[in-house]
Amino acid sequence: MMTISVIGCGYLGAVHAAAMASLGHRVIAVDTDPHRIRELSAGRPPFHEPGFEEILHQGLRSGRLRFAVSGTEPELEQAKVHFLAVGTPQSPVSGAADLTALEAAVDDLARVLRPELRPIVVGKSTVPVGTAQQLADRLEPLGAEVVWNPEFLREGHAVADTLHPDRIVYGLSDDPERAAYAAGVLDEIHAELLAEAIPRILTNRPTAELVKMAANAFLATKISFINTMATMCDVTGGDVSVLAEAIGYDPRIGRRFLNAGIGFGGGCLPKDIRSLQTQAEELGVSQAVGFLREVDRINLGCRSRVVRLAEAVCPGGLAGTKVTVLGATFKPNSDDIRDSPALDVARRLVRAGALVRVCDPCGLPNVMRTHPDLAVATDLEKGLAEAELVVLATEWRQYLELDPQWVGGLVARKIIVDGRNALDRDRWHRAGWVHVGMGRGDFMEEAIGAGVIGVGVRQ
Ligand code: UDX
C-alpha cells in the first residue's frame, strides 16, 4: 500500500483515484471545485460511468479514498506519488491545449513537496510535447521526480481501462538513476496490473507525451477514413458496412473503429488532433501533420452530410418538419456532450427549420443546462410521437433494441436516418420503414446535389 494523491477530480482523476484505492492504496484526491468534492465525498458520481459508483463506494467505505478541496488537505504532503489529472481543454482562441489548470496544480504542489520523501509527480493529462520536461526543470530542484504516464481510458469503459489497460507507458528522465527510481515506485503502484502481464513501455518523456496524441490522432484518422469511404459508397452504390467488414479481416487494418456515420466527438479526439496541429506549427513542421486538418474537415463534413440527407428524404424538406433525434451524447454509455456530433446534428437541423426534439437516456440534464433552447423529451414515447423523421445519432443499446413496429405506431411518417449505421435495417424494412444509412448505397450523392428529393432511397 502506498499513499498517493490525485490532483484534479474530473473524469480521469476521479476514476483514477477510485481505481487506485481499489488496488489497495491510500488515496487523497483534490479538486478546486467544492461542489464536486462534496458530491464525490458523499459517494455521488458527478458523471455517468458504468462501474464507477461501485468502486467509489468501496473506496469511501474502506477509508482508503478521501476527497478534499485543493489547498485544504494537509496530508497531501505525505503522499509518495502525486498524479496530475487536471483537464487540458482546447483553448477557444489558439486551438492549443490550455494548460492553466495544470500550471495552477503544479504551483500548489510545489508548496507541499517534501524532498525527504523523494516524491514522484506523475502526469496523466494529455499535454503538448515538452510540458513534462518543463515540469521536471521546475520540480526536480525541489527534490521530486517527474514521470509522464498517459492514460488511454475510453468513456463508458473508464474503470476497466484503468484497471486493465492495454499498455502502461512511463515517460522517464534521461538520467538513468532517476529513471530507475521512478519506474521502481510506479511498478510498485501498478504491481497488480503488471502481474496480469500488461505490456509496460519505458521511454523518455517526449515519446510518452506523443504516444497519447498519436493514438488519438490515429483513431480519428481511421474514423475519417471510413467516413470518406462512406461517401464513395454513396456515389457508387457500395455498402460501407460490408466494405469495413471486408477490409477489417486484414489484421494489419482491423475492424474496430471503422464504423462510418456522423463521426467522432467527445473531450479527446477532436481536441487532440487540433492540439497536435498547433504544436507541429509551433515546431515548424506543420506540413508533417497537414493531413489532420483534412481528418477534422472530413469529420465535421459528416455532420452536415447527415443534415443534407435528412433534408433530402423529407418530402417538402426540413422546414417545419417534426424531427426526433435519438441521442445527444458523443457516444453511448456516457453523459458527456462535449463536442457531440449528435448534438451538433440536432442544432443544425434546428437551423434548417426543423422542429426538433432530442431524446437521450443519460445526457439530457447536460443538454438542458447547456442548450436551454433545444427541445428535449425525457419520455421516449412522447419524444417519438408524431415524428415525421427519426434520426439515430448515438447508438445507445436502448435505441438499437427498439421495436420498429412499436415506433411505427407512434410516428407520423416511417422514415429513419441511421446516423451510426447501427440498426438492423432488414428488421426496419420489414416493419415498413424507409431506413437510410450512411454510405449504405441507399442514396446517391448526386441525387441530393441535383435536389431530386428521395431518389435512390430504398424502401
Ligand atoms: C478516446 C480514446 O479512445 C481513448 O483511448 C482516449 O484515452 C480518450 O479518447 P473516448 O473519447 O472515450 O476515448 O471515445 P472513443 O470511444 O474513442 O470514441 C470517440 C468518438 O468516435 C465517439 O464520438 C464515437 O462515436 C466515434 N466513433 C468511434 C466513430 O464514429 N466510429 C468508430 O468506429 C468508433
Q: Which atom of ligand 1 is nearest to the CA of 265?
A: 23
| Residue 47 reports pLDDT greater than 60 | yes
Give the three-state DSSP class for 228: helix
User: What are the pLDDT digits (tens) for 333-345?
Assistant: 999 999 999 999 9
| Exposure b/e, 226-249, CB count within 10 A at least 16 = b | bbbbbbebbeeebbbbebbeebee
| Residue 447 reports pLDDT greater than 60 | no
Q: Is the C-beta atom of 155 inside 6 A of ligand 1?
A: yes
Any residues with CB less than 8 A from the CB of 120 and at least 6 apart, and which?
80, 81, 82, 144, 145, 146, 147, 182, 185, 186
Q: What's the whole-number mean pLDDT along residues 86-96?
A: 82
| Residue 91 reports pLDDT greater than 50 | yes
> What is the identity of the amino acid at 435?
H
Q: Is the C-beta atom of 255 inside 6 A of ligand 1?
A: no
Report the candidate in 108, 78, 98, 94 with the shortest Cα–Cα distance to residue 7: 108
Q: Which atom of ligand 1 is nearest to the CA of 150?
A: 7
Calculated CA dihedral for residues 176, 180, 182, 186, nearest 10 degrees: 150
Q: Say what percent of the chain tops pLDDT 70.
A: 96
Among 179-183, 186-190, 222-226, 451-455, which stretch is predicted with the lowest mean pLDDT? 451-455
Q: Is the C-beta atom of 216 inside 6 A of ligand 1?
A: yes
Centre of ligand 1 from the C-alpha of residue 154, in Å: 7
Which of 269, 274, 396 has most ligand 1 atoms within 8 Å of its beta carbon, as the pocket-test mutant?
269
CA of residue 360 relative to chain centroid, distance: 17
Q: Is the C-beta atom of 223 inside 6 A of ligand 1?
A: yes
Atom 32 (ligand 1) nearest CA: 257
Q: Determine which helix (DSSP H) or strand (DSSP E) holds 31, and give its type and residue range.
A: strand 26-31
Q: Which atom of ligand 1 is nearest to the CA of 257?
A: 33
**pLDDT value for 366:** 96
Among 68-72, 82-86, 202-206, 369-373, which stretch is predicted with the lowest mean pLDDT? 68-72
Any residues with CB less than 8 A from the CB of 319 and at least 6 apart, and which?
352, 353, 354
- Kindly write down the DSSP assignment for every residue of 90-139, as one continuous string: BPTTTSSB--HHHHHHHHHHHHH--GGG--EEEE-S---TTHHHHHHHHH
Among 53-57, 105-109, 118-122, 455-459, which stretch is predicted with the lowest mean pLDDT? 455-459
**pLDDT value for 93:** 78
Q: Determine which helix (DSSP H) or strand (DSSP E) holds 279, and give its type and residue range.
A: helix 269-282
| Residue 304 reports pLDDT greater than 60 | yes
Q: Which residue has the cell 442514396?
A: 443
Detail the DSSP E strand segments found in 289-429.
322-326, 355-359, 389-392, 415-418
Q: What does the alpha-carbon distance between residue 289 and residue 293 come to, in Å, rounded to a whole number?
A: 8
Atom 17 (ligand 1) nearest CA: 154
Q: What's the whole-number mean pLDDT along residues 197-204?
A: 96
Q: What does the alpha-carbon distance between residue 162 and residue 442 come to, in Å, rounded to a whole number?
A: 41
**pLDDT value for 49:** 93
Q: Which residue has the cell 474530473?
A: 10
**pLDDT value for 444:** 55
Any residues with CB less than 8 A from the CB of 63 and at least 6 apart, and which?
none
**pLDDT value for 97:** 82
Asked whether the beta carbons of 395 and 420 are under 8 A apart, the reply is yes
Report the candidate in 333, 336, 322, 303 with the shortest Cα–Cα distance to residue 419: 303
Q: Which atom of ligand 1 is nearest to the CA of 266?
A: 11
User: What are the pLDDT digits (tens) for 380-424?
Assistant: 999 999 999 999 999 999 999 999 999 999 999 999 999 999 999
Q: What does the alpha-carbon distance between residue 427 and residue 438 come to, in Å, rounded to a whole number?
A: 17
| Residue 332 reports pLDDT greater than 70 | yes
- Kindly write down the DSSP assignment for every residue of 415-455, as one continuous string: EEEETTS-S-HHHHHHTT-EEE-SSSSSS-HHHHHTT-TTT
Asked whether the beta carbons of 19 and 162 are under 8 A apart, the reply is yes
Alpha helix (H) residue ranges in 320-400: 341-351, 364-370, 380-384, 397-400
Q: Is the C-beta atom of 265 inside 6 A of ligand 1?
A: yes
Q: What's the whole-number mean pLDDT along residues 153-159?
A: 93
Residue 148: pLDDT band (50, 70, 90) is very high
Q: Which residue has the cell 487494418?
A: 253
Residue 94: pLDDT band (50, 70, 90) is confident
Report the candidate in 271, 265, 267, 272 with the shortest Cα–Cα distance to residue 393: 265
Centre of ligand 1 from the C-alpha of residue 430, in Å: 32
**pLDDT value for 443:** 63
**pLDDT value for 109:** 92
User: What are the pLDDT digits (tens) for 61-79?
Assistant: 999 999 999 988 888 889 9
Q: Is the C-beta atom of 357 inside 6 A of ligand 1?
A: no
Q: What's the whole-number mean pLDDT along residues 246-264?
A: 98
Q: Is the C-beta atom of 49 inside 6 A of ligand 1?
A: no
**Domains parsed from the chain with CATH numbers:** 3-198 (3.40.50.720), 218-458 (3.40.50.720)
**pLDDT value for 96:** 79
Asked whether the beta carbons of 430 and 414 are under 8 A apart, the reply is no
| Residue 457 reports pLDDT greater than 70 | no
Q: Which residue has the cell 437541423?
A: 349
Q: Quote the pTM value.
A: 0.93
Q: List active site positions.
A: 268
The most confident of the ranges 106-110, 274-278, 337-341 is: 337-341
